[in-house]
Amino acid sequence: MEIEKTNQMNALFDFYGSLLTDKQKSYMQLYYADDFSLGEIAEEFEVSRQAIYDNIRRTENSLIEYEKKLHLLEDFNTTKAVIEDMSSYIKSHYPKDEVLEQFIELLKKDRDEK
């Protein structure tokens, strides 16, 4: 469960991190991406462990609320799945159609740039 939550928070951070304050970004980056403990972050910023914990929990809730309202991560994952399905279908039904494959590559490139 912890790995799933970490993956979810990292994905939400990728989409909504620019909406966070610099302090929130720093705490989330250290805690989720760099795997710092609450104590290590508290020591780094010279605040209490409880302050870090509270800030991270509030930030997690903010990221979840952004996703509930904007659906950017959900839409990204849906689009990714559709592109993968289309790619498989094209490879199995139109293996020699280079134009269709180029369209798929353009969709993948566009998706990866977002």
Asked whether residue 78 carries a pLDDT value surpassing 90, the answer given is yes
Q: Compute CA 30 distance to the chain's CA centroid, rounded to the nearest angstrom.
A: 15
Contact by Cβ (8 Å): 19, 59: no
Considering only CA atoms, which of 13, 107, 108 is closest in space to residue 60? 13
Query: Which CATH architecture is the domain 1-70 placed in?
Result: Orthogonal Bundle (1.10)
What is the C-alpha to C-alpha distance for residues 25 and 11, in angstroms, rounded to an integer?
Answer: 13
What is the C-alpha to C-alpha distance for residues 67 and 75, in angstroms, rounded to an integer?
Answer: 10
What is the C-alpha to C-alpha distance for residues 102 and 82, in angstroms, rounded to an integer?
Answer: 16
pLDDT, tens digit, for every residue of 21-37?
999 999 999 999 999 99
- Residue 112 confidence class, pLDDT cut points 50, 70, 90: confident
Check residues 50 and 91 and name the one with the higher pLDDT: 50
Please give the pLDDT value at position 93.
93
Q: Name the pTM for this structure.
A: 0.83
Mean pLDDT over each residue of the chain, to the nearest integer = 94
Asked whether residue 1 carries a pLDDT value surpassing 60, the answer given is no
